Amino acid sequence: MPLIICPDCKREISDVAPNCPGCGRPNQPASNVWAKDLKGVLKVAAIGAFLIVVATLGFRSFHDKDAAPTGTASGIPAPAQVIPSFEPNLEGQLNRIEFDGGHSREAVVDNWEASLETVSYPALEKNPFKLAGKPYAFYGKIVQIQEGDSFTSARIRFPERSDWVLYVQGRFETPYLEGQFVNVVGYLAGSYSYESQAGWNITIPAFAARAIFSDKDRKPYDDLYKQRHGATRKDKPLSSRTN
């Protein structure tokens, strides 16, 4: 078996002897010494690594706080509101209405105030897709109307001429019938084609309606306008009358 030198009396002793036979010094195998030394080294390394991690996190926190934009609590900028785009057709503009206020009184009056007031029917007929998506309001006579399951489709004629007709769709139902005059507020939506009873293919301007109401039922909208502007708008009807 291997021999080692006793550190005290310098005698050669067995490495497995519990004590030095000469001086009685307790014998500690080399493996235990290395184990203790290794434990110490690992302990020091663990403490050092912990201190490095703490220092790194503290630096990051300080740096992020300094770099945080004004008005944000976490340093992450608030995401910008994404406003979707809507196709310039009936489906797209009806979706736009649902997204932007629906059929509330406030949304109807906003739509009316933003509407084009000088676009004539010939201009609508000539450039239906160029004007698609524009807010518009008009007044006319119901030529044909169909409703069901919170949906309305109608052909509404301008008072000036019998062939000035818009095809109107809305995601609501109304109490109105053929032959009644109504105000219509919403968005121009390109054109709509259908086949007449005589077999002719007819294309007319299309309109996505936010609201359809008669002059008798327009008081709530006039009242809101009065609240906003101090007087009922008497200089023109609620809807645009085209020339």
Measured distance CA(96)–CA(5) in Å, rounded:
94
Greater confidence, 111 or 2? 111
Per-residue pLDDT at 141? 97
116: buried, middle or exposed (CB in 10 Å: 19+, 13-18, 0-12)?
middle
Per-residue pLDDT at 163? 93
Please tell me the pTM assigned to this model. 0.63
State yes or no: pLDDT of 236 exceeds 50: no
Measured distance CA(170)–CA(147) in Å, rounded:
9
Residues 135-188: pLDDT tens digits? 999 999 999 999 998 999 999 999 999 999 999 999 999 999 999 999 999 999
| Helix (DSSP H) and strand (DSSP E) numbers for the chain | 5, 7
Question: Could you give the domains of the chain?
Answer: 3-65 (no CATH), 90-229 (2.40.50.140)
Phi (first) and psi of residue 147, to 5 degrees? -140, 160
State yes or no: pLDDT of 243 exceeds 50: no
Closest by Cα among 205, 163, 202 to 184: 205
Residues 36-74: pLDDT tens digits? 555 665 666 677 777 776 667 665 655 555 554 555 555
Per-residue pLDDT at 68? 47
